[in-house]
Structure 1
């Protein structure tokens, strides 16, 4: 259409130069140019491409990675509060995901712009108009009119630069990323985010105000009396004195602990050992003797039974 309009314009300019009066007075030529210009304007306005994102912006986005793409979209739509604002964060994530998906699909700048117009319009219906999901689905359906080549006689809604396969992929993406989470987006745009105020108490030590133009004196500038009374470290507390009796007892205990065994003779040690052995072995000896007597009585009883049986058996 643009090339055709330029051709018509060129003819009009040529006729005007050859016959100025004819160029000015021929209403048919003038009407023809106006009508073709209106067709071009209508075609441009009817397309959904470059409604939200310009061609240069789409080219820039297609050449960026996901981090750069998010930063660019943040600048375009003024979503700089996304670190603290839930709505800005949700919208920026929604736009970034859509642009990145379009780049993965290999969209041209025109296709990316048209696709983003659809994405932006549907989200704006939720955000600004609070449109129900059924009504928003109808709006999405209207945007897809004219893509199928079987319905070329129907006026296109502005996405005729997509083919049928791309339209199906576009529909699946918008269904999964928007309509499946529609209640969540409605809640995000209708409820007020709770504000959290976080405070921290800081204690700052400031210098004391100087009453004189000199700082407080150092140790060397203080008198000996003041230094000894308030600054110097006090001497260690003296240990209490031990009385002489206590000293004597301690010496005796120490002497007993160290020299008591050195004064014992061999006989003394033998007597101590024998007395201890008697105390420990006497109960054992009596117990063993009692058991031996019991065994002896049992054996004697058995021997007597044997003799008795033998006596009874003899004639």
Structure 2
């Protein structure tokens, strides 16, 4: 069994191959990143929906959350003024973090440790390396870590629930019963667009014809009302049956009662005033 001697050149090539593997843009290509950079917010969302093949955004909460995750990350990278290569690597990093959570079932601590190892590869280091290998500088690397901290890491439990917890499918709808019309000539109304049942139609729209006995009873009732004399309908005169003398007598009696009551009230007031004056006069005499 032969062993190949390790040389500085072979170690350098191995490191370069490992570095290229980590930075490989397997999530979004540079062409797709270029198209996204030319779009506004709505355009970025629509393009990413097409790239990621999300078709059920209106009914699938999972697809909507994942699309928002990628759209927010790309817009943040665009605001950071990342280059096309940097945006591609950053989007790949976002996808790999979700892959670790969804497929590898990494815990929060393991995923953070993995991020540290990856950032050590794609970010600046203290060792001597080729300058082209450094994808992000120190400021950009710190900004990426801060962004991931407030995005996926802060809501890690929610993403775990999204991938691991089964949700019941809720079907919202209305059950309608449509009654078919009978053949022509039967006791059924004409077909309606609403599909109204015969009971509702006959009760509220077109009541059934009345029977002969009911019609006869209605005609008799109307004839009886028409045969009544107008004198019965008009109001009776309240003075009917009284003579003029009776009316005068009643008016005189009512007038006397009213004047008697008024006179008594006046006498009472005069008596009260008289007693008040007498009391004052007595006080003046004593003074």
TM-score, structure 2 normalization:
0.68
Question: 1:244-293 CA distances to partner (integer Å, 9 max, x unpaired)?
Answer: 8x748627x64626x86xx987x887665443221122133234335545
> Among residues 80, 84, 91, which one is paired with 1:105 in the alignment?
80
Instruction: Please state how far the C-alpha of 1:299 moved relative to its aligned partner.
Output: 6.7
Describe the superposition over 1:178-210 as per-residue Cα deviations: whole angstroms up to 9, x where unpaired.
1111111112111111211223222334343x5
Residues 99 and 116 in structure 1, CA contact (< 8 A), matched pair in contact too: yes
Larger radius of gyration: 1
Q: Secondary structure at the match of 1:145?
A: helix
The residue number in structure 2 matching 1:76 is: 51
Q: Secondary structure at the match of 2:26?
A: coil
Unaligned runs of 5+ in 1: 1-34, 218-229, 310-315
What is the CA–CA distance in structure 1 between the aligned matches of 2:30 and 2:282, rounded to whole Å?
A: 133
Match of 2:167 in 1: 193
Matches within 5 A, 1:76-225: 76-146=51-121, 149=124, 151-153=126-128, 160-208=134-182, 210=183, 216=185
Over 3 Å counting, the alpha-carbon distance change for 1:50 and 1:306 in structure 2 is closer
Q: What's 2:237 paired with?
A: 256
Q: Deviations over 1:154-179 (max 9, x none)?
A: 799x9722112211221111111111
**What 5-or-longer segments of structure 2 have no aligned partner?**
1-9, 187-207
Aligned to 1:284: 262
Q: After TM superposition, give the deviation of residue 44 of structure 1 in Å.
A: 6.8
Give deviations 1:53-78, integer Å, cap 9, x for gaps.
Answer: 21212112222233332233233333
**TM norm structure 1:** 0.62
The answer to whether the Cα contact below 8 Å between 2:108 and 2:153 also exists between their aligned partners in 1 is yes
Q: Which moves more between the two structures, 190-199 or 279-288?
A: 279-288
| Cα distance in structure 1, aligned partners of 2:14 and 2:35 | 30
In 2, distance between residues paired with 1:268 and 1:44? 129
1:123 Cα deviation after fit = 1.3
